[in-house]
Amino acid sequence: MVWGAWICLLSPLAAACLITLGGQRLSRRGAGYLATAACFVAFGGAVASFIGLLGRDGSQREILSTAWTWITGGSYQSGLSILIDPLSVFMMLIVSGVGALIVWYSVGYMDGDTEERRYFAYMSLFVFSMLLLVQGGNLLLLLAGWGMVGLSSYLLIGFWHERPSAIAAAKKAFVMNAIGDATMALAFFLLIEKANSLDFGILGGQYSSTVANLVALGLLGGAVAKSAQIPLHTWLPDAMEGPTPVSALIHAATMVTAGVYLIVRTHAIFEQAPKIADLAAGLGALTLLLAGLIALVQVDIKRVIAYSTMSQIGYMFLGAGIGSYPNAMFHLMTHAFFKALLFMAAGIVIHALINEQDIRKMGGLRQLSPKTYWGFLIGSLALVGIFPFAGFFSKDSILAAAMAKGTYGYILWAAGLAGTFLTGLYTFRLLFLVFWGEPSAFVREHFHALGRDVIAVSLAVPVGVLAVLSIVGGWIQFSPWWHPVTTWLQTVAEPTVTPESWQEWLSIALSLLLGLSGIGVAWLIYGARRLAVPRLPFAQRTLEHKFYFDEAYDALFYTPAVSLANLLRRGVEQPLIADSGRDLGDDTRDLGGLVARAQTGLLRTYALAIASSVAVLAIVFVVVK
């Protein structure tokens, strides 16, 4: 079982190294298959660890396997260790499983690209980094994985580096993530100072409320950045510049959920800092509303799904913030399934329409590619949370838990319900616009269906698998009646709120109702075209500008930074550093010129020099004796 976990961690790394070292010797598709195989091997290792843990008793399910002591500094010590416990195995299964499917899908999606090998090396690196993050045995390794997923994200968003928009988006993502990394690092410094260690166990220690609040705040900062919650969310829509599988894997299923994982893993500290936990839940609620609203006006197919991701992670933050950890993790799992499904189906659409992503040009694809339509439909229904699809089971339990939290909880609950309506609305707006109606002129002209070759298989099968998982994946837990997920995760993260039965049923009923009404309104406006889109120019403009966050950040941070940089360049770098080299040469030459003036060539001046020196030396000798 321990071997299984190490294999899970290291096999994608081995793939990345082999692809990098192989270079041209490896064919492009070979690189793809190598990466896919490595991810499936990793999944196998994760399953082995899972089975191993199952065989053990509940209290025995925490194994720390250390490879060697990595860092020693004074009394601080940190080992290269991985932790095998229910939470990490849960994440390992999701990451490696969904990851393997998506990498397989990319073999078909990226076929023909000239830099496929680089792509698969980066993807393998990403899977390794994410696994390191979830398997890390102490906070230091978690931070290492954290940073590396940020790096992989940057590399993959900017994969098509000929596009300036891609480069800009990659930089934006990296910089915003770096803000989160900084706050996390500060939190870690505080922990080292107080507890002299970064093992997970120290989080349960007693800290003064200031310390606990600061640490929790730092961790929350990192989580907010990585999971694209308000206020550090503006990078996620831009990150859609990357290839669609990248969006599926990194920006839907795995990396952006790392923030939720972090909060659940470090829940002991958050329980000591209840205000911060409430803040986390509040941010989640705010994000889910705002993202849902913005998604209503987006015209890029991938951006709609991106805002949907942001919104759903808001749900997870809500759940984790109020203390309903197993539900948040459960929603993470189902979300991975249906969001990856949606992205991959969208990817097939984009591929079929020669990389067109504007939904206003689409329409009527239902007849032209029915299987894709079914996949998308299943994903959408799962997303909105309609019975019996996956989202239904996971989302409602979070809302129910919110009810159990008191007055603040009711506010969150209301936000969550409003979010459900919005989810139905924007998701099905997308579906109706893309798939229903008559094929548009653009579609008629450019659509080309998939053939029956290897590429098509690699594109279709993962979509199919995820569609099945989106249907049945939720059946693993139904809060009122059976909850194996909660039991599984209980040893690691005990939920602090338990909703009562009536709260559960009320939430289920209301959310189902609101979801269906959202779908209904979407059908009225976009499907059957009975109603027109309401004319609210102010709201429309605000939503289209994404609540002016980008403009605000530009004015607050970017413009001052640029002017400061220019100032420094003109005032400091140019004269001090660049010119100093040239000035040094000039000054030396001038000094030499000055000295050369002593070489008059005149005998008399030389004689004068001798006489003066003698005079001076005589004084010196007399004084010194």
Partner 1 sequence: MIALLGPEASWYLGVAAFLFATGALGVLLRRNPLIVLLSLEIMLNGGNLALIGFARNLGDGGGQIFALAVMAVAASEVVVGLGLIVALNRKRVTLDVDRLNTLRG
Partner 2 sequence: MLVASAGNVLVWAVWLVAAFACLGSGIAVVSFSNPFYSALALIGNLGSLAVLYLLLSAEFVAAAQVLVYAGAVMVMFLFVIAYIGPRSESPWMGGPSWQAVGAALAAGALFIEIVVVIGLKASGHLSHSEHVGAAFGSPAFVGRLFLTDHLLAFELTSIVLLVAAIGGVILGAHSRRNPDEVPSL
Q: At what angle do helices 116-135 and 258-265 cross, to 10 degrees?
A: 20
Q: What does the block give as tokens for 525? A: 């406006």
Choice between 21 and 607, CB closer to partner 1: 607
Rounded to an integer, what distance in angstroms lies between the CA atom of residue 531 and that of residue 524? 6
DSSP state at residue 419:
H
Q: What, of partner 2, partner 1, none, does residue 623 touch, CB below 5 to 8 Å by kind? A: none
Interface characters, 439-478, with partner 1 (x: CB under 8 A):
----------------------------------------
| Total residues binding partner 1 (CB under 8 A) | 11
- According to DSSP, the residues that pair with 69 across neighbouring strands are 79
141 Cβ partners below 8 Å, 6+ apart?
80, 81, 82, 132, 135
Alpha carbon distances (Å) from 412 to 227, 288, 310, 393, 608: 19, 10, 16, 19, 96
Nearer to partner 2, 25 or 597 (CB): 597
Smallest distance, Å, CB 175 to partner 1?
58
SS3 406: coil
- CB nearer to partner 2: pick between 530 and 597: 597
Site membership for partner 1, residue 608 (CB under 8 A)? yes
Q: Which is nearer to partner 2, 536 or 610 (CB)?
A: 610
Q: Which is nearer to partner 2, 54 or 608 (CB)?
A: 608
620 binds, among partner 1, partner 2, none (CB under 5 to 8 A by kind): none
Output the six-digit token pair for 456. 């098509």
User: Cβ of residue 603: shortest distance to partner 2, in angstroms?
Assistant: 10
Interactions with partner 1, residue window 578-607 (CB under 8 A): 596, 598-604, 607
Tokens, residue 383: 């997303």
Residues between 458 and 487 that touch partner 2 (CB under 8 A): none
Place of tokens 């005990």: 494
Ramachandran region, residue 7 (left: φ > 0; alpha: ψ -120 to 50; beta: rest)? alpha
Nearer to partner 1, 530 or 604 (CB): 604
> Which of the listed partners (partner 2, partner 1, none) does 73 bind, with a CB threshold of 5 to 8 Å by partner kind?
none
The C-alpha atoms of residue 94 and residue 249 are separated, in whole angstroms, by: 11
Binding-site partner at residue 165 among partner 1, partner 2, none, CB < 5 to 8 Å by type:
none
Beta bridge partners of 482: 478
The sign one gets for the Cα dihedral 207, 209, 210, 213 is positive
Residue 591 or 617 having the CB closest to partner 2: 617
User: Which tokens go with 192?
Assistant: 């080292």
What is d(CA 284, CA 402) in angstroms, rounded to the nearest whole number? 12
Identity of the residue, 602 or 624, whose beta carbon is nearer to partner 2 in the bound complex: 602
Nearer Cβ to partner 1 (208/605) = 605
The CB density around residue 605, as the number of other CB atoms within 10 Å, is 12
From partner 1, partner 2, none, interface partner of 622 (C-beta below 5 to 8 A by class): partner 2
Count of CB atoms within 10 A of residue 483's CB? 18
Which residue's structure tokens are 């020669």? 354
Query: Residue 607 CB, nearest distance to partner 2 (Å)?
Result: 9
b/e 335-356 (16+ beta carbons within 10 angstroms → b): bbbbbbbbbbbbbbbbbbbeeb
Site size for partner 2, by CB under 8 A?
A: 12
Which of partner 1, partner 2, none does 618 bind, CB closer than 5 to 8 A by kind?
partner 2
596 binds, among partner 2, partner 1, none (CB under 5 to 8 A by kind): partner 1
CB of 299 or CB of 607, closer to partner 2: 607
Q: How far is the CB of 562 from partner 2 (least distance, A)?
A: 56
> What part of residues 586-625 is at the interface with partner 2 (CB under 8 A)?
600, 602, 604-605, 608, 611-612, 614-615, 618-619, 622
227: phi then psi, degrees, rounded to nearest 5: -95, 10
Closest CA to 427 of 370, 377, 496, 355: 377
Question: What does 619 interact with, of partner 2, partner 1, none (CB < 5 to 8 A by kind)?
Answer: partner 2
* Chain residues 266-285 in contact with partner 1, contact rule CB under 8 A: none
Q: Output the smallest distance, CB 622 to partner 1, in A.
A: 15
Provide the minimum distance between the beta carbon of 596 and partner 2 in the complex, in angstroms, as a whole number.
Answer: 15
Give the one residue of 454, 531, 611, 618 binding partner 1; rule: CB under 8 A: 611
State the minimum distance, in angstroms, from the CB of residue 595 to partner 2. 16
Instruction: Output 532 or 602, the one with its CB closest to partner 1.
Output: 602
Q: How far is the CB of 593 from partner 2 (least distance, A)?
A: 17
Provide φ and ψ at 34, rounded to 5°: -60, -45
Token output for 440: 């548009």
- Compute the distance between CA of residue 224 and CA of residue 187 in angstroms, rounded to an integer: 14
148 token code pair: 């590396």
Q: Is 59 in the site for partner 1 (CB under 8 A)?
A: no
Q: Which residue has the tokens 């920006």?
A: 251
> Which residues of the shown chain bind partner 2 in the complex (CB under 8 A)?
600, 602, 604-605, 608, 611-612, 614-615, 618-619, 622
> Which residues of the shown chain bind partner 1 in the complex (CB under 8 A)?
596, 598-604, 607-608, 611
